[in-house]
Amino acid sequence: MRSLYCKERYRMRIAVITGASSGMGRDFVRQLSAIEKYDEIWAIARRRERLEELKKELGDFIRPVCLDLSEKESIEEYERMLIAEKPDVAVLVNASGFGYFKQFDKAPLDGYYKMIALNDAAMVGLTYVTLPFMKENAKIYNICSVAAFQPTPYINIYSATKAFALNFTRALNVELRPRGIKALAVCPFWTRTEFFDTAVSDDTITYYQCYTESRDVVTKAIKDMKKKGRDVSICGRTAQFNAFLTKILPHKFVMRVWCGQQKKPY
């Protein structure tokens, strides 16, 4: 009877990390698991073999969860997992996402719908259904981008999805303060990941370099999460300077400079 009572009371403590099959999501899995002990890390992405590799690398506490998060049904499936297992979700990382470097009307409309569904709707949905399973001191990392700070021609829809993600996260952080839960908007600059395999299909955008390493963005985000009052994490001086300029300069000027860099008319 006593053991049954204890079993009922015990809530598995987990981290949920999307985009776990590569780039920053995968680095979040590696770094968070090195810092803290979780009963399980639910590693979410579509490529099962990558998630299985991560499990082999880190241990059986990695639970591969294969979901296409651009589908509403996947969010419902994830919610059913939460309801069935009733875990204590200590950390949620929304790191899945993709973009196109394309003139607006040259990329497929279906692709835009998927991008909005993944970069924004899934972030909202996953956060919404996870919150009932979070306690005081829980943490939410939402991967946005420095592209969130200004309109960005030729990365238009991606940049707009990230502006949504940034505003959503900062406002959410305020709303969650009374519950002692923190939400952090992580805004990377160009970062060396597989992101570019999807984003780049031609030479629409030519002026960019991978300035940052994925693991450094993640290390900085984990540090910034601990800082009182910090709701945005920007890794590296170039990225921070870039963000500062977009705050003080008129956005028309910022767009003109960007178009000049990309050899596009303004």
Ligand X SMILES: NC(=O)c1ccc[n+]([C@@H]2O[C@H](COP(=O)([O-])OP(=O)(O)OC[C@H]3O[C@@H](n4cnc5c(N)ncnc54)[C@H](OP(=O)(O)O)[C@@H]3O)[C@@H](O)[C@H]2O)c1
Q: How far is the CB of 196 from ligand X (least distance, A)?
A: 7
Q: Judged by CB under 6 A, which stretch of 166-174, 183-191, 220-228, 250-258 contacts ligand X?
A: 183-191
Asked if residues 139 and 15 have their Cβ atoms less than 8 Å apart, the reply is no
64 binds ligand X (CB under 6 A): no
- Nearer of residues 88 and 151 to ligand X, judged by Cβ: 151
Footprint of ligand X on 92-111 (CB under 6 A)? 95-99
Q: Judged by CB under 6 A, which stretch of 65-73, 75-83, 130-138, 218-226 contacts ligand X?
A: 65-73
CA distance to 99, 100, 103, 154, 209, per residue, from 200 (Å): 9, 7, 12, 11, 12
Residue least distant from ligand X (Cβ): 23
Residue 129: partners with Cβ closer than 8 Å, 6 or more residues away: 75, 78, 79, 82
Of these, 13, 30, 46, 63, which contacts ligand X (CB under 6 A)?
46
Residue 144 CB neighbour total at 10 angstroms: 29
Pseudo-torsion of CA 215, 216, 220, 221, nearest 10°?
-40
- Nearer of residues 68 and 216 to ligand X, judged by Cβ: 68
The backbone torsions φ and ψ at residue 143, rounded to the nearest 5 degrees and listed phi first, read -85, 115
Asked if residues 193 and 214 have their Cβ atoms less than 8 Å apart, the reply is yes
- Nearer of residues 169 and 193 to ligand X, judged by Cβ: 193
Tokens of 22: 């590569």
118 binds ligand X (CB under 6 A): yes
- Distance in Å from the first CA to the final CA of the chain: 74
23 binds ligand X (CB under 6 A): yes
- Contact residues for ligand X, defined by CB under 6 A: 19-25, 45-47, 50, 68-70, 95-99, 118, 143, 145, 188, 190-191, 193-195, 214
